Amino acid sequence: MAKIIVVTSGKGGVGKTTSSAAIGTGLALKGYKTAIIDFDVGLRNLDLIMGCERRVVYDFVNVINGEASLTQALIKDKRTKDLYILPASQTRDKDALTHEGVEKILTEMSQEFDYIVCDSPAGIERGAQMALYFADVAIVATNPEVSSVRDSDRILGILQSKSRRAERGEAPIEEHLLLTRYNPERVSEGEMLSVADVEEILAIPLLGVIPESEAVLKASNQGTPVILDNDAVAGQAYADAVDRLLGEERPLRFTDIQKKGFFKRLLGG
């Protein structure tokens, strides 16, 4: 039985797709057979971040409607073994996702995969609710600013009340906080909320802190999940988060201001 992980946030643009791609890839690198599903029907992005946009033939909605089989629609990642992507449909909208259809696909995939990562669309409407409904684990991507934190709080309430686990009265969804686009310098200047501030407001365990990094934008544009960039701090931070997700202890990194070296200061880096 696969573990179903939803990456969600409420607010848009906080890094859900980047995180889904990185964490999905990270799990596959650890040897788990993993699939990442793009739930953002109509605003398909995951294929771009994963660099497989030219290989999309069939999509999620095709499978739901029975126009294609799961094997036809799943795209095997070229770089990472054991990693598959199920792209969203770009020509449809969120109403194309039905409870029965999504359940059927997830049940079928559960037989074959160890982890299924659901990349949620922004918002709290149908698309987002569908992405989180079947989840066992939720990763709540949050930026260190008040509106993102409040939206995450809202989505945590929905996880508690509108998921399948909540409706069936089963053990609640395991909740994790992933703080993305963190900039220690701006925190010290009081322009950004600190890790402690966000933890205090949301009161859920911290999975990781991903520092704001140019490498993320570069990786997105190149279609390579940032976790594959071993030199980038963001990539290393995602690797730590994946380890923690698998139950390992990892000290928090990249949350303090990095001292600039002599040459960096001299060259204005």
Partner 1 sequence: MSDNDFRLKGSVVTTVLLEVRTPNVDQIELGLKEKIAQVPQFFDQVPLIIDISACVADITLELMQTLFDRCRTLGLAVIGWRCAQDNIPAWRFDCPLPLLPNANSRSISAKAPPAAPNKDPDVVIKTVVEEIEVSQPTKIVTKPVRSGQQIYAPGDLVVMSQVSAGAEVLAEGNIHVYGALRGRALAGVKGNAEARVFCKSLEAELVAIAGNFMLSDALQKIIWKDAAQVLLVDDTLEIAPL
Query: Which C-beta is closer to partner 1: that of 156 or that of 241?
Result: 156
Is residue 221 within the footprint of partner 1 (CB under 8 A)? Answer: no
User: What DSSP letter does each residue of 196-218 carry, written as one string?
Assistant: HHHHHHH-S-EEEEEEP-HHHHH
Is residue 13 within the footprint of partner 1 (CB under 8 A)? Answer: no
CA–CA distances in Å: residue 124 to residues 130, 137, 202: 10, 17, 17
Q: Min. distance of Cβ 162 from partner 1 in angstroms?
A: 11
Is residue 166 within the footprint of partner 1 (CB under 8 A)? Answer: no
Q: Which residues of 115-136 are buried (b: 16+ CB within 10 A; e: fewer)?
A: bbbbbbbbbbeebbbbbbbbbb
Binding mask 114-153 for partner 1 (x = CB under 8 A): ------------------------------------xx-x
Is residue 112 within the footprint of partner 1 (CB under 8 A)? Answer: no
Give the per-residue SS3 of 44-106: CCHHHHCCCHHHCCCCHHHHHCCCCCHHHHCEECCCCCCEEEECCCCCCCHHHCCHHHHHHHH
How many of the other CB atoms lie within 10 Å of CB of 261? 10
Q: Min. distance of Cβ 15 from partner 1 in angstroms?
A: 20
What CA–CA distance (Å, rounded) separates 53 from 38?
A: 12
Q: Min. distance of Cβ 262 from partner 1 in angstroms?
A: 43
Is residue 203 within the footprint of partner 1 (CB under 8 A)? Answer: yes
Is residue 156 within the footprint of partner 1 (CB under 8 A)? Answer: yes
Query: Which C-beta is closer to partner 1: that of 111 or that of 161?
Result: 161
Query: Which C-beta is closer to partner 1: that of 11 or that of 244?
Result: 11
What CA–CA distance (Å, rounded) separates 257 from 177?
A: 21
Query: Which C-beta is closer to partner 1: that of 146 or that of 217?
Result: 146
What CA–CA distance (Å, rounded) separates 86 from 102?
A: 12
Is residue 201 within the footprint of partner 1 (CB under 8 A)? Answer: yes
Is residue 30 within the footprint of partner 1 (CB under 8 A)? Answer: no
Q: Min. distance of Cβ 241 from partner 1 in angstroms?
A: 23
Report residue 122 as tokens.
């922004």
Q: Min. distance of Cβ 168 from partner 1 in angstroms?
A: 17
Binding residues for partner 1 (CB under 8 A): 150-151, 153-154, 156-158, 160-161, 172, 200-201, 203
